[in-house]
Structure 1
Amino acid sequence: MFEILLPFFLLILFLLALTIIWRIKARKFITSGTVASAYDAWTQDKLLERLWGEHIHLGYYPSNGKNVDFRKAKVQFVHELVKWSGLDTLPKGSRVLDVGCGIGGSSRILSKYYGFNVTGITISPAQVKRARDLTPVGLNCTFQVMDALDLKFEDGSFDAVWSVEAGAHMIDKKKFADEMLRTLRPGGYLALADWNSRDLRTYPPSIFEKIVLKQLLEQWVHPNFISINEFGEILRTNKNSAGRVITENWNSYTNPSWYDSIFEGIRRPLTILSLGPLAIIKSIREIPTILLMNWAFSKGLMEFGVYKCRG
């Protein structure tokens, strides 16, 4: 019965959320400050943390995609990217920079399971405070407020640079790549995952797709999307990568995350209710964007790119 009623339930929520969104100012990217403000707000209201845990990024689902716990899938994503990128070959004590660390979920896994000495940076002061609060004493993780387009580290400071779903917020993708590769030591590892559009130069969007992309940009403070191939070329042409860049599209592994992001609210209704009436409105507001993300990724308008290279 639940499976039969679910589409109608989601449709009602979608229409209700659209009505609310029309009355709420969009979260457009203006400067990096708007990104910081948005993440400060998301962190301070604790809705995403309570619903999705310490990892706001997507999860990794095996090919069958069945009976996978949403939060465990997020942790598994970290392990899969570590293995795919080669970070698991680094010795304990290796210095790792987590660019766009959020509230430190991935940083803590990298430190706890692999013995890395992790420095996490984010542009959001609220995220840094929360990341520090969540990190146990003795775990080799530190967190700083810092702009990813202006990293305050010396050249070659890190054995590995890690970044998950941060690049879409960067207005200058080349500067983003340049700064990460600059701080990577020769022979070090870059592991990166991000939301990308398909190559819109080769396959221009339809009118409807333009509307979808506009919504995805304006609701979650993204300045622009570029394709996997475009960002791969940016990495390849950087002098510090020596052209050794490998990319893949992990849509098939990550797409179940979108529906699961909504289902968590159904599975944990008391979590939302415990945060008060405003949390209900905030959670409903995100549903149309999540559904559009799911549609865009499932149709190939958006792609989940993963990247690895050696310094």
Structure 2
Amino acid sequence: MSEVRPSGTGVKPNGSLDLKQRIKTHYDNVTDKYISAWGQHIHHGYFNDQHEDKSQVQVNLINVLLEISSLGRNSKVLDIGCGVGGTSRFLARELGCAVTGITISSRQVELAQSLTAAEIKSLPSPKSTQTPGAGDFMHYPNAGSARFLELDAGNISSRFDKESFDCVWICEALYHIPDKERVFSDAFSLLAPGGSKLIIADWFKAPDLDSQKEAQYISPIETGMLTQPLHTMNEYVSMAEKAGFTVRQAPKDITQKVSPTWEKIAENPFTTFGIWLLAIWIGRDGIGYVKGMKAMKRGYASGAFKYAIMCFEKR
């Protein structure tokens, strides 16, 4: 198993410290409500059928990422931006993986640990009924394990042993991180050679947007959803190749498959009246987030905002 090293300090890119704190505060405050709206997988769904329920389409997205990567059973996985651990639990339970999930939110770590412990205890013949300590691996009977840590994803190479993972999984988290080139470089350092995978699902702007379309469609998403400036898909490829990766799955635009997510989530009462009450209580970032949700729907409809998946390998 990968060892976690003590947290260090370092100079963060200009302007990122305040945004990081806002992101942490946001997720600490609203994750419980997100669970009521999204379930345990706080990410887009992939729609094979418009009649599929919310939880199924979110698992569909995980399966699509597994298809493009051919992630092996019993892999050691670093799940960056793990939320409340839905994907981490899936990989541990279904593929026997040893998953380390990291998030900037202490509340998400707390929820991920409690949800995982409860799920394991509900299964036949659990290995242990003891409550695990913070950061301990929780073991599924005859399967894998998962643990959850509060870590800043912008500096992961100093926290784990080099070449200690078979996969770095980043689903809808990289857009929050200011120094993306460092994430690609750190991921390369942490992955073992011989075909280890970097799997990404993220939000992108369309290439060659003029300044008017950027201001109309992209800037409101960046502001409302607390993202760093969005990139194009090919810019991610360039960063991955610069870090040393080879392309296994070139960026695949799945916007049409995931964009109905917002209509499905809107069926939950929390995302109508309740979300506005919560937004007002939280303040500017809460209100901005609701506006950001609406901006994402406009961005998808315009073609300026994209959702794509991709996979890279360390050979």
* TM-score (norm. length: structure 2): 0.78
CA contact (8 A) 1:154 1:183 kept: yes
Residue pair 1:177, 1:234 contacting (<8 A) in 2 also: yes
| In 2, Cα distance between equivalents of 1:165 and 1:124 | 15
Alpha-carbon deviations, 1:107-157, whole Å to 9, x = none? 001111111111001111111111001003433100011111111112111
1:106 aligned partner: 87
Match of 1:298 among 294, 297, 301: 301
Residue identity matched to 1:53: G
Q: Is the 8 A contact 2:279 2:290 kept in 1?
A: no
- Shift, 1:246, TM fit: 2.1
Q: 1:295 to 1:154 in 2, by over 3 A?
A: same
Contact 2:167/2:198 (8 A) holds in 1 = yes
Tell me, in whole angstroms, the C-alpha distance in 2 between the residues paired with 1:128 and 1:150: 18
In structure 2, the partner of 1:21 is: none
1:169-195 CA-partner distances (Å, limit 9, x unpaired): 011111121112221111211111001
- Give 3-state SS (helix, strand or coil) of 1:246's partner: strand
- Aligned to 2:43, the other structure's residue is in SS state coil
SS at match of 2:199: strand
Q: For 1:39 and 1:280, how far apart are their aligned partners in 2?
A: 13
Distance 2:279 2:241 in 1: 45
Q: Which amino acid aligns with 1:297?
A: Y
1:83 partnered with 2:89 = no
Q: Counterparts of 1:171-250 in structure 2 under 5 Å?
A: 171-186=178-193, 187-199=195-207, 202-206=208-212, 209-239=214-244, 241-242=245-246, 246-250=250-254
User: Secondary structure at 1:225's aligned position in 2?
Assistant: coil
Whether the 8 Å contact between 2:224 and 2:291 is mirrored in structure 1 is no
What's the offset of the Cα at 1:257? 0.5
CA distance in 2, matches of 1:293, 1:203: 16
Aligned to 1:255: 259
Distance 2:150 2:33 in 1: 22
Mapped pair 1:170 → 2:151 = no
- Equivalent residues in 2 for 1:63-74, closer than 5 Å: 65-74=49-58
SS at match of 1:149: helix
Question: 1:18 — aligned with what?
Answer: none
Q: 1:40 is matched with which residue? A: 28
Counterparts of 1:172 and 1:42 in 2: how far apart (Å)?
25
Q: 1:131 and 1:210 mapped to 2: Cα distance?
A: 36
Runs of 5+ consecutive residues of structure 1 not aligned to the other structure:
1-27
Out of 150, 159, 166, which is 1:159 matched to? 166
The partner residue of 1:117 within 95, 98, 101 is 98
Instruction: Give the SS at the match of 1:304.
Output: strand
After TM superposition, give the deviation of residue 281 of structure 1 in Å.
Answer: 5.4
Question: Which residue type is aligned with residue 113 of structure 1?
Answer: E
CA distance in 1, matches of 2:95, 2:112: 19
For 2:172, give the aligned amino acid.
Answer: E
Q: What is the CA distance between 1:289 and its match in structure 2?
A: 2.3
Question: Partner residue of 1:308?
Answer: 311
Contact 2:173–2:202 (8 Å) recurs in 1: yes
Distance 1:83 1:243, change over 3 A: closer
Instruction: Give, in whole Å, the separation in 1 of the partners of 2:106 and 2:89.
Output: 18
Following superposition, the deviation at residue 54 of structure 1 comes to: 0.7
Which AA in structure 2 matches 1:301?
A: A
Judging changes above 3 Å, is the alpha-carbon distance between structure 1 residues 66 and 40 closer, same or farther for their aligned structure 2 residues?
A: same
Query: What's the TM-score once normalised by structure 1's chain length?
Result: 0.79
Structure 1 CA distance for aligned equivalents of residues 192 and 268 of structure 2? 40
C-alpha deviation, 1:279, in angstroms: 3.9
Question: Alpha-carbon deviations, 1:253-298, whole Å to 9, x = none?
Answer: 11111221212228x98xx87x9x9448579945432222012123
* Matches of 1:77 and 1:282, distance apart in 2: 32
Distance (Å, rounded) in 2 between the aligned partners of 1:103 and 1:230: 29
Amino acid at match of 1:296: G
Query: Aligned partners of 2:65 and 2:109: how far apart in 1?
Result: 23
Asked if the contact 1:244/1:309 (under 8 Å) is kept, the reply is yes
- Higher helix share goes to which structure? 1
Q: Secondary structure at the match of 1:54?
A: coil
Displacement after TM superposition at 1:234 (Å)? 0.7
2:115 to 127, 134, 139: 134
Q: Secondary structure at the match of 1:102?
A: coil
The runs of 5 or more residues in structure 2 that have no matched partner are: 1-15, 121-138
